[in-house]
Amino acid sequence: MAEPGILTKAEILSQPEAWSAALSVLREQRQAILNLEPADRFGQILYTGCGSTYYLSLAAAALTQEMTGFSCRALPASELWLYPKSSYTSGNGSPSLKRTLLVAVSRSGETTETLQACEAFLDDRRGELITLSCYEDMPLAKMGVLNLVFPSGQEQSVAQTRAFSTLYLGTVALAVLWGDRRHLFDKLVCLPEAGMRLLNNYASLAADLGGDTSLDRFYWLGSGPRHGLACELSLKMKEMSLSHSEPFHFMEFRHGPKSMVAPSSLVIGLRSILIGSHESRVLEDVKTAGSRVVDIAESGADVRFESGVEEAIQNVLYLPFGQLVAFERALLKGLNPDRPRNLDSVVKLFEEEE
């Protein structure tokens, strides 16, 4: 029998190499991405996915709007499929504003809800479709006007780690290119080295936190482009370790959720440097209330990137440490993070459900 977690551990630790390979794909597709620049052509950009890739979509939409100033939203694929009237804008009669640029993200490229949402989108002629996935022979990778495939993100384990960060990096490239921040695109090459250094420097801290039997609840704080990543890391803790875990926006944590903190809680903050003074005060508040706190940021934090790149493209670096904490917690509880309870790596609906 294989050692529990051997696949997940390898996938977490190999992320920097996966990012390097993904960046090669993105450089090859750079002009094709620029050709789909959305200004004056679309009324909105929608990102969509299911589960982890829905949370990825939240992070991607926030960053794309920040980089471009263009209206961007994220919705689960099931909402686009089953509730199109509340998902798509009417455009107030303007043909250009009625058109949507849909960016669909899926590790497998065969998740039923995502395929159904894309098929309905194309059948209704709502706009143009871009897909991001990890398997070129799967249905989703043949549906878009541009299909970005990242084989380096492929995984054998159920819970997404390497696939999530690799696909997310693809959406970062979309955001900076469409936002005419091409100097940032060129600096993405710095991220694999920063990620490797991060894993080397902080794997032991992640093991200590995940293995700390005094902790029984976990809270992940992230705002703006980092909120979707906080949601994803909370999901990793739930999937792998079956632990109490919740994500919140930084400032919202004071509005009720702070009542839950105790010496047995761990609050992990995905903190901004640019506007992080407010976020730091939230972390100080919960520390005073008795919670254990871990701060993650470019500098001046418990976990430091020290990447030297602009904050807009750093966000992928928040992921490996949080994934490792969840992994170590699963091992502590005698669980196999490769095969979380009640989950499958691909969700396919039966015909009677469709």
Per-residue pLDDT tens over the stretch 64-97 = 999 999 999 999 999 999 999 999 886 555 555 5
Residue 204 lies in a domain: yes
Q: Please state the rounded mean pLDDT for residues 30-52.
A: 91
pLDDT of residue 96: 53
Mean pLDDT, range 159-185, rounded to an integer:
96
pLDDT at residue 108 greater than cutoff 90: yes
Say which range, 27-31, 276-280, 345-349, has the weakest mean pLDDT: 345-349
62 versus 89: the higher-pLDDT residue is 62
pLDDT of residue 350: 56
Q: What angle do CA 162, 196, 292 make, to 5 degrees?
A: 80
Q: Indicate whether 344 belongs to any domain.
A: no
The reply to whether 182 and 199 lie within a common domain is no
Q: What percent of the chain has pLDDT above 90?
A: 84
d(CA 317, CA 305): 7
- Print the domain residue range for 157: 6-190
Separation of alpha carbons 101 and 42, rounded Å: 6
What per-residue confidence (pLDDT) applies to 6?
A: 92
Same domain, 231 and 93: no
Higher pLDDT among residues 339 and 298, named by residue = 298
For the cut 90, the answer to whether the pLDDT of residue 211 exceeds it is yes
Same domain, 46 and 121: yes
Instruction: Quote the pLDDT of residue 39.
Output: 75
pLDDT for 351 beyond 80: no
- pLDDT recorded at residue 80: 96
Q: How confident is the model at residue 258 (pLDDT cuts 50, 70, 90)?
A: confident
pLDDT band, residue 342 (cuts 50/70/90): low
| Domain's final residue, options 190, 215, 239 | 190
Last residue of a domain, one of 163, 190, 217: 190
Mean pLDDT in residue range 287-301: 95
Q: Which amino acid is at 133?
A: S
Tell me how far apart the alpha carbons of residues 136 and 148 are, in angstroms, rounded to a whole number. Answer: 9
Output the average pLDDT for the chain. Answer: 92
Q: pLDDT band at residue 352, thresholds of 50, 70 and 90?
A: very low
- Given a cut of 60, whether residue 222 has pLDDT beyond it is yes
Cα torsion 167, 172, 177, 178 to 10°: value is 100
Q: Do both 159 and 203 map to the same domain?
A: no
- Domain containing 23 — which CATH number? 3.40.50.10490
Cα(99)–Cα(90) distance, rounded to whole angstroms?
9
Q: Is residue 350 one of the residues assigned to a domain?
A: no
- Give the helix ranges, DSSP H, for 127-225: 162-178, 182-187, 191-210
Among 164, 190, 216, where does a domain finish? 190
Encode pLDDT of 141-161 as tens digits: 999 999 999 999 999 998 999
- Domain co-membership, 216 together with 179: no
Q: How far apart are CA 178 and CA 342, in angstroms?
A: 39
**In this structure, are 286 and 323 located in the same domain?**
yes
Residue 351 lies in a domain: no
For residue 57, which of 114, 110, 14 has the smallest C-alpha distance?
114
- Whether the CB-CB separation of 21 and 148 falls below 8 Å is answered with no
For residues 54 and 48, give the distance between their C-alpha atoms in angstroms, rounded to a whole number: 6
Is there a domain that residue 306 lies in?
A: yes
197 and 167 within one domain: no
Do residues 203 and 65 both lie within one domain? no
**What integer pLDDT is reported at residue 339 of this predicted model?**
84
The average pLDDT across 206-226 equals 97
Same domain, 170 and 27: yes
Residue 345 falls within a domain, yes or no? no
Same domain, 134 and 201: no
> Based on the domain organization, do 183 and 298 belong to the same domain?
no
CA distance 318 to 211: 20
pTM confidence score = 0.94
- Indicate if 79 and 206 belong to the same structural domain: no
Q: Could you tell me if residue 354 is inside a domain?
A: no
Residue holding tokens 């380096």?
Answer: 152
182's tokens? 């091409």
Domain count, the chain: 2
> Per-residue pLDDT averaged across 104-112, rounded?
95
Q: Is residue 243 part of a domain?
A: yes
Structure confidence at residue 354 (pLDDT): 45
Q: Which residue has the tokens 């091992």?
A: 331
Alpha-carbon distance of 352 to 273, in angstroms, equals 50
